[in-house]
Amino acid sequence: MRGLDPTSGVPLYLQVERSLRHRIDEEEWLPGAQLPTEDELGKAYGVSRVTIRQALARLVDRGVLVREQGRGTFVRDTSLTAGARGVTSFTAELAGLGHPSGARVLEQSVLPAADCDLPKEMGLGPGDLLLRLRRLRTDTARPVGVQTALLPLERFPGLDLLDFTDRSLYQTLRETYGLVPREAIETFTVGGVLDEDAPTLGVAPGAHAFYVERLTFDAHGPFEYVRSVMRGDRYQIRLALR
């Protein structure tokens, strides 16, 4: 079970976190299921309890797991799948509310699919290259969320060379590549802001946040996978139920 690489430069607790998240996504543990104890996980991964505790704490903060005093750690079952809202960008969403939006690029890089933790629906091979675009999204210059978009460069050659500061990604895809989004699947969970995101978002670690995963499709299939953390005090979900 170890499957960890101490020489990779990635901290062991992050490797354990990713492995546990993958096992949960693969439904090795279903919602409501109890995870093994810290000692059992430590033996399985060949790491200390401190490392396991760090990994579990991050998954609790992300809303993936929940700790119950005196009982253990369980897979959380409080996810909310949003209803149909129109396939729009953050820029268009805020514009529709009459708010000016902004974007500050935090990272713009090219990575192979093997390093991107993509959903199977993307249908990419391990060596396929993607643009990883991580941006701070703002409303009237106030931090709202951090969004990380992953897009295959085979479909969008040259996309990695553009400057996306205060620039709509969807508008660029439409005007430069003729892409028209058709539908998207979004999954929301509630958790706490992680230490590394807190300064960027201007909140204390552990502050309430929405974690959003979005897979977006056009006529040819999925073209974008986005992971976002949105401030709970500035981003809301409104659903119309009929």
Determine the Cα–Cα distance for residues 57 and 226; give it in Å rounded to an integer: 23
Sheet holding 101-112, edge to edge: 80-81, 183-192, 208-218, 221-231, 142-152, 129-139, 101-112
The closest of 209, 90, 192 to 148, measured between CA atoms, is 90
Q: Which residues contact 198 (CB under 8 A, 6 or more apart)?
A: 204, 205, 207
Q: Which helix (H) or strand (E) holds 173?
A: helix 169-177
Averaged confidence pLDDT in the chain: 85
Q: Which helix (H) or strand (E) holds 168?
A: none
Give pLDDT, residue 83. Answer: 39
pTM above 0.75, yes or no: no
Yes or no: say if 185 and 193 are a contact pair by the CB < 8 Å rule: no
Give pLDDT, residue 81. Answer: 39
Summarize pLDDT for 131-190 with one digit per residue, the tens: 999 999 888 778 888 999 999 999 999 999 999 988 889 889 999 999 988 888 888 888
- Beta strand pairing status for 221-231 and 142-152? antiparallel
β-bridge partners, 196 = none
